[in-house]
Structure 1
Amino acid sequence: MSDFRRWTKTRFQEIASHEFLSFSHWRRRILFWTGAVVVGLSAVFFAKAADYAFALFGRVASHGWWVPLLITPTIFALLCWLTQGALKATRGSGIPQAMAALKIEDEAFRARLLSLKVSIGKMALTLAALLGGASVGREGPTVHVGAGLLYSMGRRFGFDDPTAAGRFILAGSAAGLAAAFNTPLAGVVFAIEEMSGTFEHRMSGTLLTAVIVAGVVSLGVVGNYAYFGDITAALPLGNAWIAVALTGVTGGLAGGIFARLIIPSTFGFRGAMERLRARQPIVFAAACGVALVLLSLLSANGLYGTGYVQARDILQGHGDTGPLFGVLKFLGNIASSWAGIPGGIFSPALAVGAGLGNNIAQLIPGADSSAVVLLGMAAYLAGVTQAPLTAAVISLELTSNRQMALPIMAACLLARAVSGIFCRVPVYKALANNLIEGYEAERKAALPEESAEKPASP
């Protein structure tokens, strides 16, 4: 009988200690789910606010061609000034900040990049950039905000262990992308391919749940929709597959050059631009704003904002952006990136790809124009990010199109290979490495001071 009691007690302890019944694990799950809801609601608010901000700019800019010449450089200069100090982490896309914070398990470094103040500032300043007509997107910033919100919530409720905090950052990033584009599968692939490079088995269920919850919140508020509408384009086997080769090479070439141009460097033309910005950063940002306005005057529909409307119109076959839209949007995106203001590159990259794809479609009369445009969007995004899986899944989910799966994956893989010739390190990884190098330099510089403060050994 005693043996039976011992056996029963042992089995009971094993069941009670099981992860499914663990209080701490359930506490973490509930916090993840709550955080995912917050991220989803924040993404929806951010999207609505971004549309309103850019629409307001459009109404003001319609009063004359000279109006953006006053507004855009001023906003660029103001944002550059505002991000000189504590809000420096709000600059750029935000994805490199999340990647760097995931890699460096230092609480002070992570808090500097992902604090609640940075998350709120990122959202507010990106909206200000769109209010000034900047050629930036909100999807990268939404990833930054999602990572910051879940990280801050985790710390607030006691999950400040470096490994646990990293899980919150990863889940917040994936949930942010899923909610921003309404693409849950892309959120998971993005977390694997871009953010972590690996996929911890124990994290899989939590990550998927966070993505699903954020996606459900987005669906509940704005409905079940495809970002660019339902596109029924198809590309049959045959001569039309020439489009895969043309879009893959063109997207990879243009994407690799773009990535190379926005990564800080001390050499060549990029190094010269960096030195100019270092001398007079605010004046340089204003000059970038002027360049964007002047480029926009050459475009039929302007280059301001995310480029979502132009990309959608081109994709649906009733756009009137002009033959140079892709090239001009490419240059406008560079001007906005060089200014160092908050804002992402996802949506603007899709717009560039749509413009380039439309140009390629004119060279292949027998191919479906919408199919070639979709290939161009996917290939250019893959060329910029060098993340072919993420680019392919995003492109498929954005258009609810499954017929183009093989051509899109082929174009993305080709674009990734071509892009790597011009830019050896993927753009987000290179920008994250710059943040990490800055942290390492600060840490090394602080070591002599710490040593000097210690009393000498007797």
Structure 2
Amino acid sequence: MERPENFDRYLAHFRVRSRLARKKLYRRSLFIVGGLAVGAVAVLMAWLADHAQDIFAAGLRTAPYLALAATPLGFALATLLARHVFPNSQGSGIPQTIAALQIENQASRAPLVSLRVAFGKIVVMTLGLLFGASTGREGPTVQVGAAIMFAMGRTAPYRQSGFLLAGAAAGVAAAFNTPLAGIVFGIEEMSRSFEQRTSGLIIGAVIAAGLTSLALIGDYSYFGSTAERLPLSSDWFGVLVCAMVGGLSGGLFIRLVASFAKGLPGRAGAAIARWPILFAMLCGLGVALCGLNGDASVFGTGYAQARAVVHASGDIDYWFAPLKFVATTLSAISGIPGGVFSPSLAIGAGEGSALSLIFPHLALGALALVGMVAYLTGVTQAPITAFVIVSEMTDDHAMIIPLMLAAVVARAASRLLSREGLYHALSHGFLASARAEPAKMA
């Protein structure tokens, strides 16, 4: 019996289509499973961070001056581990992920987002918080999420940039329990573009990470729900002032951290390069002094202090913002692993509360929210991410318009001091190192 005409051609076409369909299904499955894994690890990192801070706080209650010895030693140990045991784990981790996205060579990309770096990030980040560092765990979650997705993506014959991007976005979504902000962060901050082919997969990974976080720790708003309102009136002048202050201070933070990352000129820079562990100890001592002057509230992520300001549930400490700014700067330039997301939100909330002295008729919670968006925008220069993440964290949609205005003004103010956001400014060093040196798998 003869085959119908063109049967072989149709059969070959069917086989090709089936093979492509299986590949697509496999790839989508990797994104979903990876998102579940990122969500679970993000919850673990949150638990570790909270308990590390609780242990340090308990130690301070027993011996108030413990930080003067423990924090410098902790910074020294964390820096030693980050430099010699887990290289590429220092700092936030977002610059490393941005650099990895720009590298096409897999062997050069791998040391920035390997599972070993992810493990080291978790361990040394927790160690830093255990000794009072003014750092956060959200930025590290981005690098860890990217590393998990990168490891899973290596089993598929596709470009890895989509996996890295999805892991970073899922990390933000799970860390803050803000799925929309995770998507916006992936588009605006990490990729600086919208890739149609990977956008749906990013959303899938974000949903998987969010569902995992929801299943493990329940539905919650990062800073709790607020009902702040800011009607259109002359009081909006306070929004503009708060936005300018946050943008300029965020730009100053970029300049300081980026300058130390590139290396200071002259003898100071040479001394830091020669004795990095000693420099880290000095930074730790500075953080300890800031923390003692700030009634110990300056240590750690600053989450509790920011939440208290947003809900106006505590006394206003007008020195909190400047002390937290100094402590966070010292932590960032020391070389220890740790993020700046949570400390930035705390600094912004502190700046907003301090401005209540000048604008007493504005609701304290509203000023705090504006300050958080302004300073976070000033640091990242990602205005959409900043106002989306704060509005989603507080479940307060009535403040979206003033938060949008604050983000736009803050970005303009920040760019007066720095042409790039912190993460992109720091990514150049990692990118240059990865391209200049032969890749060594971590």
**RMSD across aligned positions (CA):** 2.2
| 5+ residue gaps, structure 2 | none
User: TM-score scaled to structure 2, two decimals?
Assistant: 0.94
Distance (whole Å) between structure 2 residues aligned to residue 176 and residue 273 of structure 1: 37
Residue 276 of structure 2 aligns with which residue?
281
Query: Post-superposition shift, 1:359?
Result: 1.0
Give the direction of change, closer, same or farther, for the CA distance of 1:9–1:319 in structure 2 (3 Å limit): farther
SS at match of 1:239: coil
Given candidates 233, 255, 260, the residue that maps to 2:228 is: 233
Q: Name the CA distance, whole Å, in 1 between partners of 2:313 and 2:390.
A: 19
Q: 1:321 deviation in Å?
A: 5.1
Worse overlay, 29-38 or 132-141: 29-38
> 1:358 Cα deviation (Å)?
0.3
The alignment status of 1:54 with 2:53, answered yes or no, reads: yes
Q: CA deviation at 1:27?
A: 0.8
Q: Does 1:294 align with 2:289?
A: yes
Counterpart position of 2:27: 28
Q: What is the identity, as a one-letter code, of the residue corresponding to 1:87?
A: F
1:382 corresponds in structure 2 to: 377
TM-superposition CA deviations, 1:346-402 (whole Å, max 9, x none): 000000000000011221122221111100001100001100010011011110010
Q: For 1:17 and 1:62, locate their aligned partners in 2 and report how far apart those are by CA, in whole Å.
A: 68
Q: What is the CA distance between 1:8 and its match in structure 2?
A: 8.4
Residue pair 1:301, 1:321 contacting (<8 A) in 2 also: no
Q: CA deviation at 1:267?
A: 8.9
Counterpart in 2 of 1:43?
Answer: 42
Is residue 2:201 matched to residue 1:206? Answer: yes
Aligned length: 438
Greater shift in the superposed pair: 238-247 or 335-344: 238-247
Q: Structure 2: which amino acid aligns with 1:247? A: C
Match of 2:315 in 1: 320
Is the Cα–Cα contact under 8 Å of residues 264 and 274 in structure 1 kept in the other structure? Answer: no
In the aligned structure 2, how far is the partner of 1:433 from the partner of 1:119? 20
Label 1:334 to 1:233 Cα distance change in 2 as closer, same or farther (>3 A): same
| Counterparts of 2:221 and 2:165, CA distance in 1 | 25
Contact 1:326–1:355, Cα closer than 8 Å, also in 2: yes
TM-aligned CA distance change 1:373 to 1:18, over 3 Å: farther
Cα contact 1:136–1:345 (8 A) shared by 2: yes
Encode CA deviations 1:116-148: one digit per residue, 9 max, x unaligned. Answer: 111111011100111011000000000000000
Gaps of 5+ in 1: 445-458
SS in 2 for 1:22: helix
CA pair 293-12 structure 1, distance change in 2 beyond 3 A: same
Alignment check: 8 A CA contact 2:378 2:410 kept? yes
Task: Give the match's secondary structure for 1:415.
Answer: helix
Matched, 1:245 2:240: yes
Q: CA deviation at 1:413?
A: 0.6
Q: What percent of counterpart residues are identical?
A: 43
Per the alignment, residue 216 of structure 1 pairs with: 211
Asked if the contact 1:266/1:274 (under 8 Å) is kept, the reply is no
Distance change (3 Å), C-alpha of 1:176 and 1:270: farther
